Amino acid sequence: MADLKGKVAIVTGAASGIGAATTKRLISDGAQVVMTDIQVDAGQALAQELGATFLEQDIGNAERWAEIVDATKDQHGRLDILVNNAGLVVRKSIEEVDLESWNRGLNILLTGPMLGCQNAIRVMKQNPGGPCGSIINVASTTAFTALPTDVTYTSAKSGVRMLSKSVAVHCAQQGYNIRCNAIIPGATSTAITATMPDEVRAVVAATSPLNRFGEPQELAAAIAFLASDDCPFMTGSDMLVDGAALAIHPGF
């Protein structure tokens, strides 16, 4: 358990998968959570079940980001945690990708998290007691190893990883007590991976020496740790939750 009592969080992509598990975990650790997603029915139903607030949001929309963060501050008086989690796959190689899907993919996967960081810092700076907070950006093992079948996702997730470091260094140099870290999930059992044929699932599971997918709650536990005050010297880091998929030499 992380101690998140009194903390206020925004979790994007919270209607499903890692975002839903993170919302549950942050609430059970004591935080108040504003969930956002484009999936309104599922988001509202989960918010009602968990006692969270749900707000509809397309994370690629700059004006909506400002509204979401301001509404959170109006409702709760502060913002302590942002989990930039929403995402999707594009599944087009460099020869297949068209400019429209590339731009839309980057808008959701990279511009959205940047806008989230920017708006969260604006409000975290005004927290009673001085600028403080924790931003957790959900990247991917594709920030380190490329998916040839998804040039947009690979490019965006490596961008999210470095976005996190740039934000972390900026906040530290400005003297803000605002940390920013990237979470690096390996293959995880969620809607994104649910449509994989069984033979593909087996190959993907075997990329981890544990020979299985991660579970959303295993990611949520790591996110809750980064969100807590237990790791004040962790900023600008990559936290791998990948079952050692990136640790093993190919062929072993």
Q: Which of 187, 220, 239, 241 binds ligand NAD (CB under 6 A)?
A: 187
End-to-end CA distance of the chain: 35
Of 36, 85, 139, 153, the catalytic one is: 153
Quote the CA–CA distance of 127 and 37 in Å, as a whole number. 25
Q: Which of 8, 31, 50, 59 binds ligand NAD (CB under 6 A)?
A: 59
Binding span for ligand NAD by CB under 6 A among 2-10, 35-43, 115-123, 170-178: 35-43
Concerning whether 153 is annotated as a catalytic residue, the answer is yes
Name the residue among 170, 183, 104 with its Cα closest to residue 143: 183
Q: 239 in helix, strand or coil?
A: strand
Quote the CA–CA distance of 161 and 138 in Å, as a whole number. 8
Q: Which of 45, 191, 202, 248 binds ligand NAD (CB under 6 A)?
A: 191
Residue whose CB is less far from ligand NAD, 87 or 243: 87
Contact in structure between 91 and 18 (CB atoms under 8 Å): no
| Burial of 89 per CB tally in 10 Å (0-12, 13-18, 19+) | middle
Q: Which residues contact 78 (CB under 8 A, 6 or more apart)?
A: 8, 123, 127, 128
Count of residues that bind ligand NAD according to CB under 6 A: 28
Quote the CA–CA distance of 167 and 164 in Å, as a whole number. 5
Tell me the residue nearest to ligand NAD as measured from the CB: 17
Build a one-symbol-per-residue string for 81-120: x at contacts with ligand NAD by CB under 6 A, - elsewhere: ----xxxx-------------------x------------
Q: Which of 39, 101, 118, 217 binds ligand NAD (CB under 6 A)?
A: 39
Residue 54 pairs in a beta bridge with 35
Quote the CA–CA distance of 21 and 13 in Å, as a whole number. 11
Residue whose CB is less far from ligand NAD, 132 or 153: 153
What's at 103, amino acid-wise? N
Instruction: State the nearest-atom distance from the C-beta of 230 to ligand NAD, in Å.
Output: 23
Quote the CA–CA distance of 123 and 75 in Å, as a whole number. 13
Please report whether residue 152 would count as binding ligand NAD according to CB under 6 A.
no
Binding span for ligand NAD by CB under 6 A among 44-52, 67-75, 166-174, 191-199: 191-199
What's at 20, amino acid-wise? A
Q: Which of 105, 159, 185, 243 binds ligand NAD (CB under 6 A)?
A: 185
Lookup: tokens for 113? 């998290």
Please report whether residue 235 would count as binding ligand NAD according to CB under 6 A.
no
Please report whether residue 193 would count as binding ligand NAD according to CB under 6 A.
yes
Q: Which residues are catalytic?
A: 153
Q: Which residues bind ligand NAD (CB under 6 A)?
A: 12-13, 15-19, 37-39, 57-60, 85-88, 108, 138, 140, 185, 187-188, 190-193
